[in-house]
Amino acid sequence: MRTIKIGKKTFDISQKTLIMGILNVTPDSFSDGGLFHSTDKAIDHVKQMVKDGADIIDIGGESTRPGASKISDSEELKRVLPVIEQLSSELSIPISIDTYKSKVAEKAIDAGVCLVNDITSLQGDRLMANVISDHEVSVCLMHMKGSPRTMQLDPTYDDLIRDIIVFLKERTEFAVFNDIKKEHIIVDPGIGFGKRTGRGVEDNCEILSRLHELKKLGYPVLVGASRKTFIGNVCGEKEPLAPDDRLEGSLAAACLASTFGADIIRVHDIKQTYRCLKLVDCVKKHLALTT
């Protein structure tokens, strides 16, 4: 049995692939920007995601789409805190904050968050590691080439998977050195964050095919491929598919990620992903019995 504890909830990840539901309370996220910008709409959407099968809710107040600009701590908090404060008293599942800012993370933790999803792997704010260790919450460390503003300008790799593993090994060691418990760490290869797509090289597809290599790090693996650009590029015919037309590719990516080693899948489309992963997890159980 392999388990992961996030907040007060312990999950058996040897039996079930966890679903992290995405809630962007932003005006400009690439797929759902502006849809849940009001607190009431955000709360209603989260309740529906939980009903549809989400195990974790990940709340983001700043867009990390390619080319996105930074916003202030105060603006980010204004977007996320009202939602977190209301949800923390109503939800029985863990709430995650998608931020790289220590002040935002600390205020969110005080409001009820128990997981920090940091796209910079503790590099964006020198105080973030202390906030996570002091509050004993979980953290997801992601690989990214550059920053959201620059990551897709000209990413290059000598050996894609090796580079990701070396980076995540260094960041997990940094986290442990800074008193973050190993059992509180999750790793993410950063699908779409500084990865090549659409020019004959599909880094994100290679990552999915080699996810099992990340398992050697010894940490649960999170994958977030939902509705991303590479899906539009790979699945489109004459033109890339728009974000709202990437459901089938997103489901395929979720199934492949779970099959090849992901423990948590971060998605927009909860009900459809939940149904797909129920079948994938059932097949994996039978495979384990016969090998």
DSSP characters over 122-180? T-S-TTHHHHHHHHT-EEEEE--SS-TTTTTSS---SSHHHHHHHHHHHHHHHHHHTT-
% of the chain surpassing 70 pLDDT: 92
pLDDT above 50 (res 78): yes
Residues 6+ apart with CB under 8 A from 125: 100, 101, 102
Please tell me the predicted confidence (pLDDT) of residue 33.
Answer: 46
Q: Where are the alpha helices (DSSP H) in the chain?
A: 39-52, 73-88, 102-111, 128-135, 160-177, 203-209, 229-235, 247-260, 270-290
Instruction: Say which of 169, 266, 271, 278 is annotated catalytic.
Output: 266
Dist CA 21 CA 58 (whole Å)? 6
Dist CA 104 CA 259 (whole Å)? 34
CATH number at 84 reads 3.20.20.20
Q: How many domains does the chain have?
A: 1
* Active-site residue flag, 65: no
* pLDDT, tens digit (0-9, with 9 covering 90-100), for 205-250: 999 999 999 999 999 999 999 999 999 999 998 899 999 999 999 9
* Active-site residue flag, 266: yes
Mean pLDDT of the chain: 92
**Mean pLDDT, to the nearest integer, of 194-207?**
92
Domain enclosing residue 259, as ranges? 3-290
Instruction: Say which of 107, 228, 275, 278 is annotated catalytic.
Output: 228
pLDDT above 90 (res 61): yes
